[in-house]
Amino acid sequence: MVGKKKNTGMVRLMSIFGSNGKLMAGCTMLLLLILAAIFAPFITTRSPYVLGSDLLLPPGEKYPLGTDGLGRDVYSMLIYGIRTSLLVGVVAALISAVLGVLFGAFSGYYGGRFDQVFTEINNIFLMLPAFFLVLIIVALFGSSLLNVMIVIGLTSWPSNARLMRAQAMSLRERTFVRSALAIGESRSRIVFRYIIPNGIFPVVANTTMGIGGAILTEAGLSFLGLGDPNVVSWGQMINQGRAYLSTGWWVSTFAGAATLIVVLIFYLIGDGINEILNPKPQKES
Residue 285, pLDDT score: 36
Residue 270, pLDDT score: 87
Element holding 190 (H helix, E strand): helix 187-190
Residue 142, pLDDT score: 76
Residue 245, pLDDT score: 83
Query: Taking the domains of the chain in order of start, what are their residue ranges?
Result: 84-277
pTM for the whole thing? 0.84
Cα–Cα distance for residue pair 141/143, rounded to 1 Å: 7
Residue 262, pLDDT score: 93
208-254 pLDDT, tens digit each = 988 988 999 888 888 888 888 888 889 888 888 888 888 888 888 99
Kindly give the parts of the chain with pLDDT less than 70.
Answer: 1-18, 279-285
Q: Which fold has domain 84-277?
A: MetI-like fold (1.10.3720)
Residue 13, pLDDT score: 55
73 in helix, strand or coil?
strand
Contact yes or no for 26/269 (Cβ under 8 A)? yes
Residue 53, pLDDT score: 81
Residue 16, pLDDT score: 62
